[in-house]
Chain A
Amino acid sequence: MTEAEFCDVVVVGTGAGGGILAHRLARSGLRTISLEHGAMLPEDHFKTTLPPGVTRDFGIGPSTTWPSDPHDSLFVHPLFADGSVGSTARPKDGFRHFQVLAVNGLQNLWNGVSVRFSAEDFKSWPLSYADLAPHYGAVERLIAVCGTKEGLPDLPDGDYLPPKPLRPADRLVVDAVKSLNDGHSHAIPNRKAINTRAGTPTSCISTGMCTSGCPVGAVYKFSTRLLPQIAELPNYELRTQAKVVRLLRDGSGRRIEGVEYIELATGNRRHLRAGIVVLAAGALETPRILFNSADDADPSGLGNRHGRVGAGLQDNPKVVLSTSLLKLWGRRRDYDLGYGDLLILLSQGRLSNGTPFPFIGHAIHSAPDVPHYLTAMRFFPPFLKERLARMMFHSYVTLGLFCQGEATPGNRVRPGRSVDAYGVPQVEVDFTIPAASHQMMDAMTVWGRRVLRRASATMIYASRDNSGTGIHYAGTTAIAQDPRHGVVDADLKSHDFDNLYICDGGVIPELPDKHLTLTIMALADRLAGHLIETAKQQSVAA
């Protein structure tokens, strides 16, 4: 497509929602433009420039620190945007917002966990699990998700490729969970958007970790799977390094005329008119755009007539427990290392008033090329450290457990006082960990310790957090039939505008324990169908 200044649909963002939308809309024939703040990473970025683990410079980057918290290693990745260009100024204390400004967004570092929400998880939505189920299936087939059918009502089954085989560490965890015999604890093969088919260019090569970027593109991301199918279509264009500043209202009515963005390569501001605007930029960036679109008619920002934009920010509270399993000491590896976390764990805890709550997690086992275990060995003399490190090398297991978020009145995104390097106002985050979340993290810690001890744990290192490091941001542009309770309706259309849609984590009103990414993608598939159908009807009417 030439540099059109009008398109049928502009999609802001190329992450979980934006990628699926662009693919379906472009293939339907609609003139579609994706706007992406960041650049396209080179194809070999995760193979040569920034490979996972220790293959380059022992895994040491400019931001690596000593001593370090082993559970913090993910969060110093150089791809995470800093406060000079991100949605927030990333103040030192408080809520930590992680954002990747590049094509694919956060999915560049996505772990790939792809689980469906349960019917119960939709209780506060204006649509049901049955409404979304076909779209879950369509996305699972499109992006290739591995897993197994288990028949658990709390975790509906999908359409899966075979997973990689469990390893000795996984079997110890499975046996430990089974031994609890409580009726609600399960350890099943993980469900991840990973190409486990052998013999393809993107087949999983078992690096043992997915969260530092996949060197062969085995984990789904837009640029390697779907973009190649639409990149050459005459009706599709991807504009990178295009930072959307604000939406442009069409007169004083209920329509958006288009978007204003900064072409970062030149610094020029450009307007792009569109029949439909979809914001799929993330639960903090989308409110940032809406706030910055304020005008005389809507001084609090567009789509915000009831003050709901930014309200209800949530992230999954989590606990992380790491240990060395005694039963694996001295073991050499004679098994496929796989993709790190081959198990999903499900269970239930109780709040202090007896109310049960579900939680989910994964069990991670890998080769500790990056020697995080040294933190726990700091008091041993060097000769003993070397012997222990060799003996324990293949014995490490980490459990990461997540529970539901809670939308509280005080936790929100609001217009900020800072501006980014381009002069664009940022947002600020008010966030206090809810009391119930503390109780849930306590209960998950107790459960995790029990499981690990039964699996022959030695010393357990535990940490917990609910200040943004779950990187499952939700709730800030919630879906609700009543405009007083949310920002978008059941079709993800803004209550205030007829041609403005939102499709990212922000629309999820109450964040369940389960990872939200597959649900965002299923919502995108559903929205794409709605927009295509709407366009057909308009075409017929015209």
Chain B
Amino acid sequence: MTQLPPVLERQPPEQVDPAGAAASQDWERLVAALIGLSPYRAVLLPLLPDITRIARANRQIGTALAAVERRADFARTGRLRRADLGPDRTALLGFLEYIRFACPDFLRSVGEWPVGGMRDRG
């Protein structure tokens, strides 16, 4: 059986500079608050570091998060309400919902994780 191992890139800790680490933590707090607004938060919160990294790397979601951060004055208040998502709500909640249904937990529940395993035979 050929199996493709799942790959989730994590940045090695030794490559993280202090300023970058602080910014990373700010992003992580914001994404955690966003996940708190999702009905799938119980499944998504354990994936927070990966979701944060992927969100930052995605042009649409990165831009939307920056807009939400400003709109909510998140750096000062540390709080996020649904109303703060504004016009970015569909994209941001869609992003989280996508991850919920593409994550190993869900795919395992339909017999399709690890990806690649068993696919070349029944």
> In the complex, how many angstroms separate the beta carbon of A70 from the nearest chain B beta carbon?
12
- Nearest B residue to A216, CB-CB: B2
Contact assessment for B102 and A55 in the assembled complex, using a CB-CB cutoff below 8 Å: no
Interface residues of B in 33-92 (CB under 8 A from A): 39-40, 50, 54, 57-61, 90-92
**What is the bound-complex CA distance between A394 and B109, given in angstroms?**
12
**In the complex, which of the residues A64, A66, A204, A393 has the most CB atoms of chain B within 10 Å of its own CB atom?**
A66
Contact assessment for B57 and A62 in the assembled complex, using a CB-CB cutoff below 8 Å: yes
**In the complex, which of the residues B2, B4, B7, B92 has the most CB atoms of chain A within 10 Å of its own CB atom?**
B4
Contact assessment for B101 and A336 in the assembled complex, using a CB-CB cutoff below 8 Å: no
Report A-chain residues with C-beta under 8 Å of the C-beta of B103: 58
Interface residues of A in 50-66 (CB under 8 A from B): 51, 53-66
> In the complex, how many angstroms separate the beta carbon of A364 from the nearest chain B beta carbon?
15
Shortest 6 CB-CB contacts between residues of A and residues of B: A66-B94, A371-B101, A206-B120, A382-B39, A206-B119, A205-B2
Stretch at the interface among A107-115, A327-335, A350-358, A509-517: A327-335
Interface code A331-348, partner B: CB below 8 Å = 1, 0 otherwise?
Answer: 011111100000000000
Which residue in A48, A62, A67, A369 is a CB contact (below 8 Å) of B90?
A67
Report B-chain residues with C-beta under 8 Å of the C-beta of A40: none
Contact assessment for A62 and B59 in the assembled complex, using a CB-CB cutoff below 8 Å: yes
**What is the bound-complex CA distance between A536 and B112, given in angstroms?**
56
Interface bin, chain B: 35 or more
**What is the bound-complex CA distance between A204 and B119, given in angstroms?**
10
Is the C-beta of A272 less than 8 angstroms from some C-beta in chain B?
no
Contact assessment for A337 and B119 in the assembled complex, using a CB-CB cutoff below 8 Å: yes
Report B-chain residues with C-beta under 8 Å of the C-beta of A394: 110
From known contacts A57-B9, A60-B54, infer whether A65 and B91 are also in contact, taking CB-CB under 8 Å.
yes
Contact assessment for B110 and A393 in the assembled complex, using a CB-CB cutoff below 8 Å: yes
**7 A–B contact pairs at CB < 8 A?**
A55-B5, A55-B6, A59-B102, A66-B98, A204-B120, A206-B119, A393-B110
**What is the bound-complex CA distance between A47 and B115, given in angstroms?**
12
Which residue in B54, B101, B115, B120 is a CB contact (below 8 Å) of A374?
B101
Report B-chain residues with C-beta under 8 Å of the C-beta of A333: 111-112, 122
**In the complex, which of the residues A216, A335, A367 has the most CB atoms of chain B within 10 Å of its own CB atom?**
A367
Contact assessment for A55 and B57 in the assembled complex, using a CB-CB cutoff below 8 Å: no
Which residue in B9, B98, B122 is a CB contact (below 8 Å) of A56?
B9
Contact assessment for B94 and A369 in the assembled complex, using a CB-CB cutoff below 8 Å: no
Chain B residues at the A interface, C-beta cutoff of 8 Å = 2, 4-9, 39-40, 50, 54, 57-61, 90-92, 94-95, 97-99, 101-103, 106-107, 109-112, 115-116, 119-122
Q: Give 8 A-B pairs besides A207-B116, A332-B111 with Cβ atoms closer than 8 angstroms.
A: A47-B4, A53-B115, A54-B102, A55-B7, A56-B7, A205-B4, A374-B101, A382-B97
> In the complex, how many angstroms separate the beta carbon of B95 from the nearest chain A beta carbon?
5
Is the C-beta of A390 less than 8 angstroms from some C-beta in chain B?
yes
Report B-chain residues with C-beta under 8 Å of the C-beta of A53: 115
Contact assessment for A336 and B6 in the assembled complex, using a CB-CB cutoff below 8 Å: no
> In the complex, how many angstroms separate the beta carbon of B99 from the nearest chain A beta carbon?
5
- Nearest A residue to B93, CB-CB: A66
> In the complex, how many angstroms separate the beta carbon of B89 from the nearest chain A beta carbon?
11
- Nearest A residue to B47, CB-CB: A58
Contact assessment for A374 and B98 in the assembled complex, using a CB-CB cutoff below 8 Å: yes
From known contacts A51-B7, A67-B94, A215-B4, infer whether A58 and B102 are also in contact, taking CB-CB under 8 Å.
yes
**What is the bound-complex CA distance between A127 and B1, given in angstroms?**
46
**What is the bound-complex CA distance between A57 and B98, given in angstroms?**
12
> In the complex, how many angstroms separate the beta carbon of A462 from the nearest chain B beta carbon?
22
**What is the bound-complex CA distance between A53 and B112, given in angstroms?**
12
Contact assessment for A54 and B115 in the assembled complex, using a CB-CB cutoff below 8 Å: yes
Report B-chain residues with C-beta under 8 Å of the C-beta of A208: 119
**What is the bound-complex CA distance between A51 and B57, given in angstroms?**
17
Is the C-beta of A166 less than 8 angstroms from some C-beta in chain B?
no
Contact assessment for A205 and B116 in the assembled complex, using a CB-CB cutoff below 8 Å: yes
Is the C-beta of A370 less than 8 angstroms from some C-beta in chain B?
yes
**What is the bound-complex CA distance between A58 and B40, given in angstroms?**
16
Interface residues of A in 36-80 (CB under 8 A from B): 47-48, 51, 53-67
Report B-chain residues with C-beta under 8 Å of the C-beta of A54: 102, 107, 115
**What is the bound-complex CA distance between A62 and B121, given in angstroms?**
33
